[in-house]
Structures are given as structure tokens and as C-alpha cells.
Amino acid sequence: MQRLCGVVAAFVAKSKHPIYDRKAKCGVWRTILSRVNPAGDMLLMVQTTTVKEEDRPAFTEPLVAELAASGLNITSIFQIFNDEVTDAARPNAVVTHLHGKPRLEMPMLDLKLEIGPLLLSCAKWYLKLRKTDVTSQHVVIGVDIVEENIEDARRNAQQNSISNTEFIAGKAEEVVPKILGDMDTSLEVVAVVDPSRAGLHPRLVEILRGRTQVLRIVYISCNVESMAEDVAKLGSSTEEEADDFVPVRTVAVDSFPQTVHVEAIQLLERASIVEDPRKRRAAKKTAAVGDEVEDAVEPEAADQAPEKTEETEE
């Protein structure tokens, strides 16, 4: 990664195009995203502001030549246009394939996946399928706002002979309510959510909390602050007898080394299926008190034993 940053930084420094300035809202160069598979093959996506169509060949050809000659085993290069203030590009942002293969081959457990420049999260649905021995009676449904991601997910499912999946393109806050509304209330649902840095849409929070089929939520987040807000909302219903969600376990994953950012994964379960930690602590305290009482009684019994033996001998 450091070698890649060095190559890109040197190229940008020689470029006549400036780096994007958020305050001035001008410039061209923004970010570069890389994905590397176990074989060392690298997929790159260069993010810039929109370049005029007539200027694109002069802009991209020297960049591709520099990256291809870097010796970093770069097999795919894409460019994405983003004119927003933040680096989070819109779902309908223009993505152009500049060089190499259209997808990166990414083996995962016993699966063979092909990952495009935008596909990041659909693989975790497949992991659940294979590792939990899901039968044909179970269905895994994936929702993503980017149509390309849905197409890649369907293709990966087909290539790995996974038939009990369904993938839907659309906004989660619009699609998920219909999915859960059509389900039998006796079904048990595990929801895996991976929202943007802004967190879950308020409507989606209400749906997940209010639909009794959803027993567990696996929350994946690149912004722990918005995740904490959503977790609080999922566990604070205004209804008196509501079965709200309780955070059970959190794991931090350092996906962004040498930065202040961290990826977090949190498991939430309904309060009705989670043991109250206060009861567990009370039980431990009671057991500890019982042990202290036994320790206090045993020495006295030991002192009395020799006296009985002496009387017997007399």
C-alpha cells in the first residue's frame, strides 16, 4: 500500500490538475481505493471530480500507463466521478473501466467470488449461507441501492451454486418494510446491516425494531458514532411492553491502518432472548457469599474432630 501511495503521490505532484479542496470546492484529484486478493492481484478505483469528455483520454492514459508500469500487479483500474463535498460518491456516480479485468477474483472460504469496484458487502451474505448449513428452507435476501452490486451478487451466487438467495436493488428503507411485511410472523430473521457513515435511515430503525420476526441484528459500521446512536434507538422503544434490542457483543476491525477510523461489528438480540446481566451478577455474588460461609464453618468442624477422637480412645 505504501508503494502504491508513493507512485500515485509522485504522479499527482507532476500533474497539472490540482488536488480537490473541500472548502474552495475546486480541484480534480480526490481519493484512490485499492483491493488486493491473496494472490496479490490489485484492483484500483481512482476518484476524481468530473473531467470533460473531450479531456478524458489525455487525463487517463498517462495515469494508466504509470500505474501499469509500477510493478504492483495492478490487474484492474477504474475511475469514478464525484462532485460532492464528501468523498462518498452518489449511487448513480459515473464509473469507467480504464484498464485490465472488469473484476477481481477473491476466494473466501470455499467460495470463489468476483468483486467489482463498488461491490463490498454482498460476500457476507454468502458466508452466512455456507458456514451455518442453511437448508433449502432458508432464504437469504440481499438489498443494495447500486444495481451493479446486485448484478454481481446474482452472478456470484450462480457461479457458487447457491440457489436460495434473492437480491433486490433499491433503498433499504423502501424495500425492507415490504420484505418483512410479506413474511410469516413465525419466521426467525437475522438482519445484517452495513449502512453508510450516516447510519441507518430512521424508517429502517423503526421497521427493524417493530417487526417481531427480526430476532438478531448484525450491525457493520465504519462510523462508531452513528452506530451508537442507532443502537440506542433500537433499544429504546416508547411502547411499554416492547421487546427492544440489546447489544450483546462488539468487535473492532482495523480496516483502515494508520488512520483514526475503525470498522465495528456489533451483535444485537431481542431482550427476551438475552440473559439479564444483573441476574447473572447477583447469582455470582450469592455463590461467592455461600463459599465464604462454607470456608468459615469448615475450620470449626476440623477443630472439633480431634476432640471426638480423644474421647473415643479414652
Active site residues: 222
Residue with cell 410469516: 184
Contact 77, 32 (CB under 8 A): no
Cα gap 124→142, rounded to integer Å: 10
Cα dist from 19 to 8, 64, 101, 193, 251, whole Å: 12, 18, 28, 33, 35
Beta strand pairing status for 95-100 and 74-81?
A: antiparallel
Known binder of ligand: residue 243? no
Helix (H) or strand (E) holding 245: strand 245-253
For residue 275, give the amino acid letter.
E
Known binder of ligand: residue 110? no
Cα gap 200→248, rounded to integer Å: 19
Cα gap 159→103, rounded to integer Å: 14
Contact 89, 33 (CB under 8 A): no
Contact 98, 14 (CB under 8 A): no
Region at 264 (left for phi over 0; alpha for psi -120 to 50; beta for the rest): beta
* Residues in contact with 136: Cβ distance below 8 Å, sequence separation at least 6, in sequence order: 163, 164
DSSP 93-141: --EEEEEE-SSEEEEETTEEEEE-SS--STHHHHHHHHHTT--TT--EE
CA 105 distance to own-chain centroid: 20
Q: Give the annotated binding-site residues for S-adenosyl-L-methionine.
A: 144, 194
Q: Give the annotated binding-site residues.
A: 144, 194
